[in-house]
A = this chain, B = another copy of it.
Amino acid sequence: MSRILGIDPGSRITGYGIIDHDGREMRYVTCGVVRAGNGDFPLRLRTIYEAVMELAETYRPDMAAVEQVFIQRNPDSALKLGQARGAAICGCVAGNVAVAEYTPRAIKQAVVGKGGADKSQVQYMMRVLLKLPAAPSEDAADALAVAVCHAHHLGQQAAGLAGAR
């Protein structure tokens, strides 16, 4: 059984989602969002950093997975998103959790079977896959999707190893 912390970082709202995975089945643990507020930027980064570190310490995930973002149209948004992402990754580091990265396309492909899926499809699939009573919020669903993508990746690795025997 391994526990995966998925993170969808943002300069205002950072989504998180935690699942357990035993190579075949996935079990929902928790999900939610961290609101970094509108204050000074270093203060916002601190909020993200400390919240992620606390999640790592509370839930003791074996691994974290973060969405890898390549293209942003606006350089100023890219800089802000980059800082939020850096803070989230450092929160994992501080909580002794290694970090894997997945592209948005790989994540959508893993959870919806289509690289160009929209947000509502991701929310719907998280509800179905993780047997939730209602769809999680967009940011929390995106974070769960990164965790599910990582679980698929681990499952495929395990299958590959078994096949090679």
Contacts and interface: CB of A to CB of B under 8 A. Distances in A.
A133 interface: no
Please state the number of chain copies in the assembly. 2
Nearest to A53: B94
Contacts of A79: 69-70, 72, 78-79, 81-82, 85
Contacts of A92: 42
Give the interface size class of chain A. Answer: 35 or more
Contacts of A138: none
Contacts of A98: 42
Interface stretch (A17-25, A44-52, A111-119): A44-52
B89 A89 contact: no
B83 A80 contact: no
Given A41-B101, A85-B83, A101-B41, A46 B78 contact: no
Nearest to A73: B75
A124 to B, nearest CB: 29
Nearest to A100: B42
Contacts of A15: none
Closest CB pairs A-B (n = 5): A82-B82, A86-B86, A83-B86, A90-B90, A78-B78
